[in-house]
Amino acid sequence: MPLHTDDRLAELGIDVSMLKGIALDSRAVQPGYLFAALQGGRVDGRKFIADAMKSGARVILTDNDYVFPENLDLKGVYFVQSDNPRQDLSLICSKFYAPLPDHMIAVTGTNGKSSVVHFSAQLWQHENVNGIMMGTLNNALTTPDPVTLFETLGRLKQDNGVTHVAMEISSHGLSQYRVDGVPFKVAAFTNFTQDHLDYHIDMESYFTAKMRLFEDLLPVNGVAVLNADVSSYKSLSDVCKRRGIRTVSYGRNGQEIILRKRNIVGVQQEISLEVMGENYELIIPFVGMFQVMNMLCSLGCLIASTPNDKLRIKTLVEAMPILQGVPGRLQHISDPAGMYNAYVDYAHTPDALETVLNALRPHTDKRLICVFGCGGDRDVLKRSKMGEISARFADVSIITDDNPRSEDPALIREQINAGIPEEIKEEKDVRIVDGRRAAIEQAVNFMQEGDILLLAGKGHEKGQIVGDTILPFDDVMELSNALKNKS
């Protein structure tokens, strides 16, 4: 259940009005600051407590297991030891950086988060509402650390007058308590498929992290927006029902937002909707069923707070055809003459890759070509699965590099290739190309008119991570240049 921030701060004995600032890095500490000495995966912040005290830290927040060195001078410093210092840090930040924007939407799920918050921000703009999105498109991390997050939210509200924010919420952010204390009004769930098993170990742990948004963070007077077409819908719905939280469900099996019909019309889609009992016919400018679902989720997030305002709902629904796609999410790229069509997409999970390939197939007159790789130092289990999915659903699969990090890229490519059954290799064209730029150029060079090329994995990213170095690399630019040179 959600913690009451004021009650918890009282238990800790912390008065945020007495603080001058909050820091996770001891080098950022100034006189009067609170220093959060947390144990991290790479750095143990507790080792820098003495440094923070020398810089004038007024309060030190750390865990219950910390043992004070005998030579540590504790005079003038208030020590707070907690069984969950990460959660307490977020609650402290939420109070220290207040006031925050009034209307906060949280969007979680494996895929679609960026599109949902992007569409939500555009719909707010259509309504002349001062709202923004936060997530992978404007942050290095989907969900930043609590100090960065709450400081940003406070600045948006106090300096820029932002009243509405749609936030992507990652499983990492939820499991590490980064968003505890955010006053969410709406929480949405898109879908649930394999990802981040390098961190969560198994799917059950991964889902438990996602569930925290509805079990622990969304207040009882909030609204949950749920995809009624996914297997996890019942579990989420049951949690909301048990807690007395109102739900808005969307999809073919939705109750408040129902997808009645969907037809492909060229590179667009014609859909029939029933929204809060009213019927609508729309043509939307995107390919793929998943984009329809992302738009419906965004619509649900916006109408959740005013379910009985028929005029507003009608205005929002009728604005959906003018929405623009998210950079790097099925972003259409063509040559200057318009003869060759390609798409850049962020798909980097088995389910996402399969979804995008299936979305493009109905629009493909000849061959569907897929260029992709898998990231190093990440979920190893998905590599073979993505290899099989590409080979099964594309006509040509080109396996290449995608942020190899500290791993040998050749080994990653072979692990992807190993997942492709021999009988599929006998039927399909499967290639392994060293270097992402070389793979893109090769794919474009043998494209024919009527083919569609998918460049998957990096989407909006502007760099290729090799070792500890981020090398400049932009899929959109690389693909555009290759198509320009071809024509």
Residues 301 and 392 in one domain: no
Do 337 and 395 belong to one domain? yes
Return the structure tokens found at 255: 């109750």
Tracing tokens 């952010």 back to the chain, one arrives at 173
SS3 (DSSP) at 151 = helix
CB-based contacts of 238, cutoff 8 Å, min separation 6:
none
What integer pLDDT is reported at residue 203 of this predicted model?
Answer: 64
CATH code where residue 397 lies:
3.90.190.20
We report the CATH number of the domain holding residue 68 as 3.40.1390.10
Three-class DSSP labels, 275-339:
ECCEEEEEEECCCCHHHHHHHHHHHHHHHCCCCCCHHHHHHHHHHHHHCCCCCCCCEEEECCCCC
Whether cis (ω within 30° of 0) applies to the bond prior to 472 is: no
User: Is residue 137 domain-shared with residue 163, that is, in the same domain?
Assistant: yes
Asked if residue 184 and residue 55 are part of one domain, the reply reads no
Do 158 and 288 sit in the same domain of this protein? yes
Number of residues that make up the chain:
487
Q: Strand ranges (DSSP E) for 174-309?
A: 184-189, 223-227, 246-251, 257-265, 268-275, 278-284
The Cα-based distances of 230 to 31, 242, 249, 304, 415 in angstroms read 51, 20, 11, 20, 30
pLDDT score, position 196: 45
Among 67, 90, 113, the domain boundary falls at 90
In tens digits, the chain (487 residues) has pLDDT values of: 566 889 999 999 999 999 999 999 999 999 999 999 999 878 899 999 999 999 999 999 999 999 888 777 778 899 999 999 999 999 999 999 999 999 999 999 888 888 999 999 999 999 999 999 998 665 545 678 999 999 999 999 999 999 999 999 987 888 889 999 999 999 999 987 644 444 546 667 777 888 899 999 999 999 999 999 998 999 999 999 999 999 999 999 999 999 999 998 867 899 999 999 999 999 998 888 989 999 999 999 999 999 999 999 999 999 999 999 888 989 989 999 989 999 999 999 898 899 899 999 998 989 999 999 999 999 899 999 999 999 999 999 999 999 999 999 999 999 999 999 999 999 999 999 999 999 999 999 999 999 999 999 999 899 999 999 999 999 999 999 999 999 7
Q: What does the pLDDT read at residue 287?
A: 85
Q: 171 phi and psi, to 5 degrees?
A: -65, -35
Domain count, the chain: 3
CA 268 to chain centre: 25
Whether omega before 99 lies within 30 degrees of 0, making that bond cis, reads yes
CATH number at residue 189: 3.40.1190.10
Domain edge (last residue) among 288, 322, 356: 322
d(CA 61, CA 416): 44
CA-to-CA distance for 419 and 391, rounded, in angstroms? Answer: 9
Q: Which domain holds residue 301?
A: 97-322
Give bridge partners of residue 367 from the DSSP assignment: none
- pLDDT value for 171: 79
Q: Which of 75, 90, 105 is the C-terminal boundary of a domain? A: 90
Distance of alpha carbon 185 from alpha carbon 357, whole angstroms: 35
Residues 86 and 104 in one domain: no
Whether 313 and 417 map to the same domain: the answer is no
Query: Could you tell me if 81 and 178 lie in one domain?
Result: no
Does 252 share its domain with 401? no
DSSP at 361: G
Handedness of CA 206, 207, 208, 212 (dihedral sign): positive
313 and 456 share one domain: no
CA distance 320 to 318: 6
Place of tokens 């895929």: 111
* DSSP characters over 27-86: GG--TTEEEE--B-SS-BGGGGHHHHHHTT-SEEEEETT----TT---TT-EEEEES-HH
Query: How many C-beta atoms surround the C-beta of residue 273 within 10 A?
Result: 23
Residues 365 and 219 grouped into a single domain: no
pTM: 0.82
Residue 45 and residue 141 in one domain: no
